[in-house]
Every structure is written in structure tokens, then in C-alpha cells.
């Protein structure tokens, strides 16, 4: 199984779009994103300095835009997408007028920069302080918001070598055997059973587009609104964030709570980010947990905490207005590492995400449990690859930091999309897994027997929660080859419970 990872704020660097603009279609794609956000993303990604692009209202759409550029170059964007709707300008300024003093055009527009098979909306410019987006040399309205800190033992955030024999630590070994790539037709997107997508913080918008839940245009537009609202929320109180590196995780969490702070990012690899009032952060830095060190981060506020409540309230209506489709690929939520199966669930989480901690540690655990054998981090890449290097040993990693890594990324994708094993009569055997739609206690269906053929949609089992029962169905017609879970097992959302095979003449 291949993982596609998309980074969050803090991954931006000056000039990060420069080398990408030489590729066919990229300038038009970015021009389209600029039109719908009201930001000159091309200028911001080429000539703007570090201080300007650290503005939360700028960094977030810029990061999502570049991730989608890389995804398009790798043919990772789905071939079809839901229609794009206009995000209501009234959520930012009455009547949809921008702070630059002009009214925004309304209605859906076919823009020449639109990614293939999507429709970009002509949206109101992002409302934040004048001059922060389009005036060269202007000071940013707000401070930066990186939520990654360098891991003390991690190397440069690039790519690793081939997988080792150790493999990721996981109790679902059969799932790794099931994680074989599915044969693709010409110009087809990757088999959804073979790809899992996850994004850190605002990177979840990029991930939602790659998974087919949002159009690329809507993902960038919402990122711009999200960044503007989070930046505005920072002005309500003096708050910030600090990285706690090393130490025993439980001791670190206890110290953060005792200081009156929130563990806003739990990134794994010995890295937890605390957030809250500046005086409480100072006390934590003066009295760090045992065997840990605290490094204050130059950010504008306490992201992913209750201090972003005003941003959540403002974004709730925008999220509800977004048209969505059910993800066509396995999409993990960074709130809990669980799979998000329905389009409405994606948008429900988008607004709430700004006040909820990022649990990247749980996302990485799900990747290990799924048997991921390779992971590609889309540009602006590096931070997630560095974390995965420590948490997912044996997984082949590639950070797509520039167009120079695209060919290697294509080879890695192709290696995971080869035909399955050859059956006894010379046919190609394709392997698929049936996965749990939510976390709960698993029970096998009495009619599902190993060795028997199950038609698509046949119930394979049931997940029991405290309130409901959720059926698990066969994703396609095939033979039930192997059970991966026993009756009574507690299974996480998105994790496999059974392996099915199909055979087609080669």
C-alpha cells in the first residue's frame, strides 16, 4: 500500500514555487488558484521573503496550492470531482466586499487555470490586513504558524533508501501481505484500495482533494479562508506554541496539562507541541519535563486549541457550503487517525479541526497497521518524511521537494501499481481488502466463508459500537481469501478485516 502525505503550515520556504513554474501547465494552474483566493500566489511563492509568507493567511493557501501542483504532475488528482461552489463572502465581510475595497465577483467561473475536470469559483479576495498579500515588501499582518519542530535525531528531510527487512511495527502482518498494488489502465488514477492519503493540519485540505472529496479549487479557496480566520483569532489574546522535544510522552503530556496548556500537535517521534497563554509557555520552558527540552515557536497564537474558537465558528458555515463527494481513496483524519468515508464527514471536520489537536502519531500508527510499504510526501515536503523515518522503519520514503524528485516519485508509484501475483492458470490475481468503516468490535458474517466467491456489496462482517452497528461489505466481486481479524477483535476505522482476490486473464 502506498501512502501520500501532505504537509501543513511551517513547510513553506521563500521561492518554493520557482522551479515548478517551468513545468507545463503549472503557471496556469497557479493563476487559477490566485484568481479564486485573491492572492498573487505566483509572486508570493517566488519573490516574497520569509517574513511575508509566514503570515498565516498567506502560508496556508500557498502550501495547499503547491501540494496540488505536485499532485497534478504525478497524476494523483482524481479524474472526476464534485462541482465547485462559491464560498460565501459574507462570512468574512458583509456583502462579500474585500478589505481592499471592492466587491468580489460571484458565481461559478470556468478558469483557464483550473485543474483537469474541476471548476474553479471566482471568489471574494481573502479578508485580512491591507498589503499583506499583494503589496511587495509589505509587513505580514500576523506572525508565522509553523507547527513542526526539528526532531533531535532526524536527518535532513529528504528521501530514505529502500525498505529494510525490519518493517513497521504493527500487529497486522496479514494486512501488509494484502497491500499489493492493483493493475492500472492507461491514464487511470491509482486503485483506491492501494492508496491511503493523510495530511497534517491544513495539509488535510490537500489530502481531501487527492482523495477526491474536494475539488482542488475548493481546497485552495478554503485554505485561504481558514488562514485568514485563524490569523484573525490570534489577535484576541496573547498566546503561542512551544515544541517539547524528547522525554517520556506521558510525563510530557502531564507537564503540559499541569501548566494549563494544550497538547496541540502530537507528532510522534518524540515531538509534542504545547499551545496556550504565553506566560504558561514561559513557565513550561523554565521548568521542562524530565529529559525533555522546550523550544518556543515564533507563531502568532495557539493553533488547534480552544483559542481558535472564533475561527471555527466563522468557518463552520463555509465548510457546510462546500460541495463534496465521498472519498475515492482511503482518507485519514489528523484528528484521530481514523478513516473518513463520507463527504459530509470531511466537511464536518474541516471547521472543527482548527480547535482540535493534530494527532499525527495516530495517523502514523494507522499507516503502520495498514501495512504501508512506501510513502510519498508532496511538496513542500520534508517534515512528515522526517517523522516517518523514525516512526515507520522499513517503509520506503520519498520527499518531493522539487521537480527533480518527480521521476523518482513516478517510479515509486509505478512499482506499487504492478500486476498482482500469477495464478495457477497464468492469470493475474488482484488483491483487495475489506476495511472497517469505523472503530469498534468486529464480527464476521456467517455467510462469508473463506474460499467462497462474494459478490460486490455482500456483507463481510459487522462493526459494533456503543450505539450502532456498521456493515462491512465486499468492495468488489471476488474470492474471500483470508480473514485478517477474528470475532471480538477491536478494529480501528479504515483497517482491513479480510482479503479478497480476483483473477483476470493476463
- For the annotated catalytic residues, the residue numbers are 201, 304
d(CA 290, CA 444): 46
Whether a cis peptide bond, with omega within 30° of 0, leads into 380 is yes
Beta carbons within 8 Å of 30's beta carbon, 6+ residues apart: 17, 21, 41, 42, 45, 65, 69, 113
Round to whole Å and give the CA distance between 290 and 186: 56
Nearest to 183 by CA among 424, 455, 421, 495: 421
For residue 260, the cross-strand partners are none
CA pair distance 239, 58, nearest whole angstrom:
20
Q: What is the secondary structure of 91-109 as a DSSP string?
A: GTSGGGB-TTS-BPP-SB-
Nearest Cα residue to 270 out of 258, 287, 253: 253
Under a CB-based contact definition with an 8 Å cutoff, are residues 422 and 473 in contact? no
> What H or E segment, with its residue span, contains residue 65?
helix 56-73
Three-class HEC string of 197-258 = EEECCCHHHHHHHHCCCCCHHHHHHHHHHHHHHHHHHHHHCCEEEEEEEECCHHHHHHHHHH
Amino acid at each position: 500500500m502506498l501512502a501520500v502525505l501532505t504537509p501543513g503550515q511551517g513547510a513553506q520556504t521563500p521561492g518554493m514555487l520557482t522551479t515548478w513554474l517551468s513545468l507545463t501547465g503549472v503557471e496556469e494552474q497557479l493563476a487559477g488558484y490566485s484568481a479564486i483566493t485573491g492572492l498573487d500566489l505566483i509572486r508570493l511563492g517566488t519573490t516574497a521573503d520569509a517574513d511575508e509568507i509566514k503570515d498565516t493567511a498567506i502560508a496556508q493557501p500557498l502550501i495547499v496550492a503547491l501540494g496540488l501542483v505536485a499532485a497534478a504532475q504525478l497524476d494523483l488528482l482524481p479524474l472526476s470531482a464534485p462541482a465547485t461552489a462559491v464560498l460565501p463572502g459574507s462570512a468574512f465581510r458583509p456583502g462579500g466586499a474585500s478589505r481592499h475595497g471592492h466587491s468580489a465577483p460571484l458565481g461559478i467561473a470556468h478558469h483557464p487555470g483550473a485543474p483537469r475536470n474541476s471548476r474553479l469559483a471566482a471568489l471574494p479576495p481573502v479578508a485580512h490586513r491591507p498589503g499583506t498579500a499583494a503589496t511587495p515588501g509589505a509587513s505580514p499582518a500576523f506572525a508565522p504558524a509553523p507547527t513542526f519542530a526539528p526532531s533531535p535525531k532526524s536527518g535532513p528531510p529528504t528521501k530514505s533508501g529502500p525498505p529494510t527487512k525490519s518493517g513497521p511495527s504493527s500487529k497486522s502482518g496479514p494486512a501488509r501481505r494484502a497491500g499489493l498494488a492493483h493493475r492500472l489502465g492507461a491514464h487511470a488514477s491509482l486503485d483506491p484500495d492501494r492508496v491511503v492519503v493523510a495530511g497534517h493540519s491544513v495539509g488535510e485540505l490537500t489530502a481531501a482533494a487527492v482523495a477526491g472529496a474536494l475539488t482542488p479549487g475548493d481546497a485552495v479557496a478554503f485554505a485561504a479562508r481558514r488562514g485568514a480566520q485563524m490569523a484573525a483569532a490570534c489577535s484576541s489574546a496573547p498566546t503561542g506554541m512551544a515544541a517539547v522535544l524528547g522525554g517520556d510522552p506521558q510525563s510530557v503530556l502531564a507537564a503540559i496539562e499541569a501548566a494549563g496548556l494544550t497538547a496541540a500537535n502530537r507528532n510522534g517521534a518524540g515531538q509534542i507541541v504545547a499551545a496556550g497563554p504565553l506566560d504558561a509557555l514561559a513557565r513550561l520552558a523554565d521548568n521542562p519535563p524530565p529529559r525533555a527540552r522546550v523550544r518556543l515557536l515564533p507563531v502568532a497564537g495557539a493553533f488547534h486549541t480552544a483559542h481558535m474558537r472564533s475561527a471555527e465558528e466563522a468557518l463552520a458555515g463555509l465548510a457546510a457550503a462546500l460541495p463534496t463527494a465521498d472519498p475515492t481513496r482511503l482518507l485519514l483524519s489528523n484528528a484521530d487517525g481514523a478513516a473518513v468515508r463520507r463527504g459530509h464527514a470531511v466537511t464536518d471536520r474541516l471547521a472543527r479541526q482548527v480547535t482540535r489537536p493534530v494527532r499525527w502519531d495516530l495517523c502514523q500508527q494507522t499507516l503502520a497497521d495498514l501495512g504501508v510499504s512506501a510513502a510519498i510526501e508532496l511538496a513542500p515536503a520534508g517534515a512528515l518524511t522526517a517523522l516517518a523515518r523514525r516512526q515507520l522503519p522499513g517503509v520506503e520514503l520519498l520527499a518531493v521537494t522539487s521537480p527533480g524528485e518527480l521521476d523518482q516519485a513516478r517510479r515509486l508509484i509505478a512499482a506499487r501499481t504492478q500486476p498482482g501475483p500469477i495464478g495457477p492458470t497464468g492469470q493475474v490475481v488482484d488483491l483487495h481488502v475489506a476495511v472497517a468503516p469505523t472503530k469498534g468490535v468486529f464480527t464476521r458474517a456467517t455467510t462469508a466463508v473463506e474460499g467462497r466467491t462474494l459478490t460486490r456489496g455482500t456483507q463481510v462482517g459487522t462493526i459494533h459500537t456503543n450505539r450502532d452497528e456498521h456493515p462491512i461489505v465486499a468492495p468488489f466481486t471476488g474470492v474471500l481469501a483470508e480473514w485478517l481479524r477474528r470475532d471480538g477483535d477491536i478494529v480501528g476505522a479504515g483497517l482491513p478485516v479480510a482479503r479478497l482476490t480476483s483473477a483476470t486473464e493476463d
